[in-house]
Amino acid sequence: MFKSGNYRFSWKDLGDIEAGRPNLGNLMKVAVYRLMQYTLRDVLNRHLSVEKATELFREAGKLAGTEFCVNLLDRSLPFNGFMADLQEKLLSLKIGVLRVEKTDFEKMEFILTVAEDLDCSGLPFADETVCEYDEGFFAGVLEAYTGRVFDAREIDCWASGDRTCRFKVTSKE
């Protein structure tokens, strides 16, 4: 599976968690998720470069967003309904509290905010945004929904001193 050179992620690879963890169940601590992500970041930064690691996190986030959209969201809904569906799923999975702050369909530009973000809320102040995985995630979700190519950049982050992460998502076409 993972050791195959041509492994490509598929939603079913997440496995049957109910069957696999009959006693421990589906939940674990946020710190464990962050431990995985930040140690991976440490290793990628050292073995590659900060720039490359950032790019890879964003790319992985985009893959996650695309698969999330295809497997969990209703792509037949109009935009507002679709975003409400996304908001509800992010909330029920305890990923974060999403708000659509601004939409501009002419420019295909969106401002999204995430409060209590899984990736960064509560981090010590670092004067930098850290949610590259989320950047990719939102770009991936909107790409899978619209069929257009999107780019997302985090403009405010808990780590940069804000209480809410804020993402500017723009169409690259």
Residues with Cβ within 8 Å of residue 77, at least 6 apart in sequence: 85
Smallest Cα–Cα separation from 162: which of 103, 132, 122, 110? 122
- In this structure, what are the phi and psi dihedrals at residue 44, rounded to the nearest 5 degrees? -65, -40
> Could you tell me the smallest distance in angstroms from the CB atom of residue 153 to Zn ion?
11
DSSP 34-45: HHHHHHHHHHHH
Nearer to Zn ion, 67 or 132 (CB): 132
The 119-138 site mask, x for binding Zn ion (CB under 5 A), equals -x----------x-------
Instruction: Output the residue with the shortest Cβ distance to Zn ion.
Output: 157
165 binds Zn ion (CB under 5 A): yes
How do 150-156 and 109-115 pair as beta strands? unpaired
Among 144, 157, 169, 170, binds Zn ion (CB under 5 A): 157
Site for Zn ion in 79-108 (CB under 5 A): none
Q: Which residues bind Zn ion (CB under 5 A)?
A: 120, 131, 157, 165
